[in-house]
Structure 1
């Protein structure tokens, strides 16, 4: 019996040593540089997130305003970049006149003085709306932004022209593959170096369609992210990066990250070599997946020397907190 167990034990020890040496960050070099800050929706009015549903009108539950910026507007994006954002996330909808409107909601009823499905309007019609019309922090007694948002809904062209050298993450709001094709056509009209500054995420169908037409653009959808992480957890201990993880934005909740093989430095190095960018999200608890690194306490949880991406809804807080965090 000893003759059988002795070589098996040696094999197990060798395998354990291989797994350790392949995945320990103690033997990995760190990528130089500061973390990449991604401002989700830019600088926006914050709101109560209790019991949110897909159709909840968040403009009707904002906290008392501390600034004048409205999400998905050029002033908000400019302020986000000035605050320290490297990338700003924006939401888009196709319009009836062949443009893409930059606006979060599926309908215009909540935030604006208009009605109807966003994509059933022309860009010219959407530019006439007051996008600050519906915001209230006191149950409708006052509307602090009413009349101040007329003409502030930009098109995707407006945004890219206003910030020709800035990076954006574009969120496709539908599950329609044809929308992915339309966005791919719009991005194909851009120079290759400009496309390299853009990433796209959203529903599986439109993102898959866009990826098939523009494979060089980094994308992510729920399906592609799930496929990437499951495969990586299954055999990433070998040092092999699954094909599904290549050239994408890899979104990782901060409480899941320590369970990934080679976290942090080996993991970041592997994804970078595969053409992908890692973004840490807030803790995943089975609910919404778009929570960000939004508190100083969460910033403190970042690994020392972390140089990957950070997804945040509080860009000013994140940028300031990182300045005081040990590097």
Structure 2
């Protein structure tokens, strides 16, 4: 056998060993990220009722200036968003968390209300945070709702005094899981909220999450290690770094102690989705909530229809963010009792 043939055999052996090593590595990575080898983190999905139980609205062509109350869709209930009654109804329909929005008032309180101004939904005018709590609570928060272009206003006169304060929410739901949305990027708002959260016990703080503007939410993050937080830049950093490194099992620090809101159509990029990914996030004290598909334009929204629920992975036990807890809660309960 000549040297040439010996060289061929040698390189063939090296190539085969290298190929086997690469295949072995790939197989190991596959198994380490295989969802089917990881147990679900729970027995059923965790449901978040966005703004409690709210009136639905037409979402086509939405902008930051759209008065959504003027684009109301026929909805089979009479609850108004961000009210005590709507939160109670959401929990009754099976919500594990209720999300709501807050604005500071000129007299040092927080009002629970979504819009930057009161002009759209109420019979008042002006920027929400430029009112006292008493002034805001005197308004009719159902005044502006219409589904027929202004011919009728079915909630006028029914929303007077229904805007709660943050204190009222804490008092009414002393043991319930709550998610607070800070609507501005003013760090002073974080300071004011921190004063109220500091009055709560550590066990109670564990039941609260806070998201919104980076500066005020970061105040909460730095002072309350038991409270999960989120702002948009941190969410992007977490997901981008996980997509790049998650195949190794590494969870980026920007994913830790967070609440992640992820559109369904982004999940195919997540190593180990769903069970392995959810396990990894739970291991760093992070909750994951699914949103409806997002195409990069407009606003993201919750999962609000039964068909989307049925298309979720089998035994999915992460979070579901929804604007229709009356539909989704019933569907989840039916699926888990059958």
TM-score, L = length of structure 2: 0.93
Aligned Cα root-mean-square deviation (Å)? 1.5
How far, CA to CA, are the matches of 1:16 and 1:175 in structure 2? Answer: 44
Contact 2:63/2:298, CA 8 A, preserved across alignment: no
- The superposition leaves residues 259-314 of structure 1 with CA deviations (integer Å, 9 ceiling, x where unpaired) of 21111111111111111111111111112453111111110111111111110111
Runs of 4 or more above 4 Å deviation: none
**Structure whose alpha-carbon radius of gyration is higher:** 2
Q: Which residue of 2 aligns with 1:209?
A: 219
Residue segments in structure 2 that go unaligned for 5+ positions in a row: 1-10
2:280 pairs with 1:270: yes
Q: Which residue of 1 aligns with 2:263?
A: 253
How far, CA to CA, are the matches of 1:7 and 1:175 in structure 2? Answer: 57
- The superposition leaves residues 98-155 of structure 1 with CA deviations (integer Å, 9 ceiling, x where unpaired) of 1110000000011111111000111111111111111111111111111111110000
SS at match of 1:280: strand
Pairwise mapping of residues 1-327 of structure 1 onto structure 2 (< 5 A)? 1-2=11-12, 5-325=15-335
Contact 1:129/1:150, CA 8 A, preserved across alignment: yes
How far, CA to CA, are the matches of 1:65 and 1:27 in structure 2? Answer: 42
Residue segments in structure 1 that go unaligned for 5+ positions in a row: none
Contact 1:181/1:213, CA 8 A, preserved across alignment: no
SS at match of 1:109: coil
How far, CA to CA, are the matches of 2:75 and 2:18 in structure 1? Answer: 66
How far, CA to CA, are the matches of 1:131 and 1:152 in structure 2? Answer: 7
Contact 1:258/1:264, CA 8 A, preserved across alignment: no
CA separation of 1:158 and 1:93: change in aligned 2, threshold 3 A: same
TM-score, L = length of structure 1: 0.96
CA separation of 1:288 and 1:41: change in aligned 2, threshold 3 A: farther
